[in-house]
Amino acid sequence: MTERTPHPDYTAAPEEARWGGTLPALAEKLKHEAYQRAGDWAWRILPGGALVAMRVPPTFRKELRIARRLRKAPTEAGEKAWHKEIAVFLEQLGCAGWKVIRDAWATGTEPGLKVEMVYQEPAPLGGKAAEIGTCARCMKAFELHPTDRVYREQICQPCAIAMGQEDAAANKAAREAASPRG
């Protein structure tokens, strides 16, 4: 088997920005650097020319950026191959299920165009994502967060506040009715 020549972007990158290890190890390296850089991108170039970068913006939802400069003019087959490659990156980097926030496929006919994908993790700091629930009282959809407590039934915050006020008023009325002055 012949050894593949590295992409020109890989050879042009500074030595400390090149990555020749496994993708799971790269994910760990980028996570640590992204936290240290506090909002700036931590990045590496792979021998095939892909740029893999991660950052932790003020929302604390990590973002993953995968980009590359095309050697050939963009084609439909190239776009399919790119998206297949992206799926492998997401799987190997532990980012499957992240939300796409930018999908830029090259437009034009000349080689050297840049393509990129940017993903965002579904919940801050790797926490469990909020689910959409239906309020048992007003029947409106609302975000049910993992830290929310469900007491009698699943209800939205405005209905929970209203129920609390109603319960407090009923308890006050019961106390007043039971008091000897009442």
Q: Which helix (H) or strand (E) holds 168?
A: helix 157-178
For residue 60, give both structure tokens: 């604390």
Backbone φ and ψ for 104, nearest 5 degrees, come out as -115, 100
Backbone φ and ψ for 76, nearest 5 degrees, come out as -65, -40
Helix (H, G, I), strand (E, B) or coil at 128: coil
**pLDDT tens for each residue of 81-92:** 999 999 999 999
Predicted local distance difference test score (pLDDT) of residue 128:
66
Share of the chain above pLDDT 70, in %: 85
The C-alpha atoms of residue 7 and residue 51 are separated, in whole angstroms, by 11
**pLDDT tens for each residue of 28-75:** 999 999 999 989 999 999 999 999 999 999 888 899 999 998 878 888
Contact criterion met (CB below 8 Å) for 72 and 111: yes
Predicted local distance difference test score (pLDDT) of residue 146:
62
Contact criterion met (CB below 8 Å) for 57 and 101: no
Predicted local distance difference test score (pLDDT) of residue 85:
93
Task: Name the DSSP letter for residue 179.
Answer: S
Contact criterion met (CB below 8 Å) for 93 and 27: yes
